[in-house]
Amino acid sequence: MTFGTILVSFLIGLGVLLLFMMGFILLRTLFFSPKQKKVKPREVVHIDGKSVAERLGLAVQYKTVSFHDPEKFDRNAFTGLHRLFQTLYPQVHNQLKREVINDYSLLYTWEGQNPDLKPIMLISHLDVVPADTGEDSGWTYPPFSGEVAEGYVWGRGTLDIKNGVVGVMEAVEYLLKQGFQPERTVYLGFGHDEEVGGANGAVAIVELLKSRGVEIGSLLDEGGNVMVGFLPGIEQPVGVVGISEKGYLSLRLTVEVEGGHSSMPEQETAIGILSRAIALLEADKIPPHLEVVEFLMGYLGSALPFYQRMLFANTWLFGGILKNQLEKSNVMNASIRTTTAPTIFNAGVKDNVLPSKAEAVVNLRILPGDDLRSVYEMVLKRIGDERVKVKPLEGETLEGDSGWDPSPVADTESAYFLRTSRLIKEVFQGSLVAPYLVLGGTDARHYASVTDNAFRFTPVEIDKEDLKGVHGVNERLSIENCEKMVGFYVAYIQEMSSLPVEVDAPPAEEGMHVAEREEEELLEEIDEALEESPEPEPVDEDDDAEEDEAEED
């Protein structure tokens, strides 16, 4: 054999191998993420959006701001808001059991017809973050005005998350007036301190439920929305339903050395040592994992342009490229790794004195797959300097006030999830639905001990611009959204509270677990069960009619 023939056979072999690989990549791309099924539009009840917006505006006017400093807490704002609900929602007030938890949080119980079924629960929070009320704060309408103008209701809490509280109250008030009686017990839980951790609100509500032996079938909290422009390349709005949220860890880094005069500094100073530690943490990031994003793309892949779909369908080959691409976006970066953010840095008091102590705080948000211990060890390893003491910001243990692990992942094959996702598509026509990871914190994480199914979704359609209003300036919600939101909650409560007992059945030996059944088959069964229990007909109703009825009652 000449050198030439060897080369030719080698090239042919290489060509065949390449062709084979391309075929494999192509096949994986084509079969990646089946198209989401289209659903028929659903006619939901129309409670006049403008009047909902006005009532939400009234709720916004109560400055239920959470502060870490208890001195600043305005108790009258919270009790005022309670009274407002009493006035606006008399049926809820009179017909549901209402308990005030730790003076400011609310728990409503709507007894179901069948106490053997697991209850459902909808939660939100009454508190909001502060807002700058100054003239040049940038708000078009003052943040606590609750002004209804230009097609929106404006103010702090219109997106986070007094809209959720008012939306749910509106829906229950409506259903009560219609004479609807839920099969399953429905709990409504509104904490008053979510923005500062939820220790006195959600945590106390959960403790109470636990003491009563309550196990929640499915929980709905804030966290996701119907997002327009969720991902570049996907044109349809995407209803993102949070099924887990990242963990949290705040660490205090301390360096203590002998101080001294700045005219004769040591080789290394407290500030220098601490700065290097922080620089090392920023340079050597905690390694990314693609699982969360891959899972998401399993739902959305078919809507991606071909090139992107090919990358996600073939992470075995393109994982590295993907990680590099995703890292460039702060949101995607936070979705693929535990993030490290230095948030406080303190040292020194005088320009000619070397400080004996330097301190910094680093806040880490833990991706499912990592945990408190592994993250803590990675931090120590990166710093690699015993002079830097690394401790939890509060308390002695990693788990506690300064840290918690990522929350458990809810079951996306449960009937609760399938039903919720179908309902989203029915109400928000043309949208896709995908489960996702909530990057911030919500009260839902406290409910892990009473439910396996904590979903985080608020039924409003918003874009990235709207999201800037959350904890920012010009938070607002459109009147159209106000109307759809209530319609969704009405349908949600009707359906979820009527789900048959089978959906709560533990996985049985005979392959009865929902995960092993076809989605369609399961939904059909549920439909049949639902048809047996008549639902109130959706009707159009304006605000005046509502008031008339209230008077009659």
Applying CB under 5 A, the residues found at the interface with Zn ion are 160-161, 222
Instruction: Give the three-class secondary structure for 514.
Output: helix
DSSP 3-state of 356 = coil
Three-point CA angle 85, 88, 92, nearest 5°? 70
List 194, 221, 443, 495, catalytic entry:
194
How far, in Å, CA of 243 to CA of 238, rounded? 15
Q: Please, which residue, 177 or 456, has the CB nearer to Zn ion?
A: 456
Q: Which is nearer to Zn ion, 158 or 315 (CB)?
A: 158
Q: Are 175 and 494 in contact (CB under 8 A)?
A: yes
CB of 447 to Zn ion, least distance (A): 15
186-191/105-110 β-pairing: antiparallel
Angstrom distance (rounded) from CA 402 to CA 400: 6
Minimum CB distance to Zn ion, residue 128 (Å): 8
User: Tell me, what DSSP letter sits at residue 331?
Assistant: H
Give me the least distance between CB of 64 and Zn ion, in Å please: 12
Q: Is position 527 annotated as part of the catalytic site?
A: no
| Closer Cβ to Zn ion, 398 or 485, answer by number | 485
Closest to 540 in 3D by CA, of 487, 493, 492: 487
Q: What is the 3-state secondary structure (H, E, C) of 222-269?
A: CCCCEEECCCCCCCCCEEEEEEEECEEEEEEEEEECCCEECCCCCCCC
For the bound state, the minimum distance from the C-beta of residue 161 to Zn ion, rounded and expressed in Å, comes to 4
Beta carbon of residue 172, minimum distance to Zn ion (angstroms, whole number): 20
For 109, the 3-state DSSP assignment is strand
The question of whether 544 is a catalytic residue gets the answer: no
Indicate the residue among 183 and 221 with the shorter CB distance to Zn ion.
221
- CA 381/CA 213 separation, integer angstroms: 44
Q: Which entry of 127, 160, 183, 371 is annotated as an active-site residue?
A: 127
* Strand ranges inside 234-393, DSSP E: 238-245, 247-256, 260-261, 339-347, 353-354, 357-366, 388-392
Least distance from Zn ion to the Cβ atom of residue 223, Å:
8
Q: 10 Å Cβ neighbour count for 515? A: 11
Which residue's CB is nearer to Zn ion, number 153 or number 372?
A: 153
State which residue, 161 or 227, has the beta carbon closest to Zn ion. 161
Active site residues: 127, 194
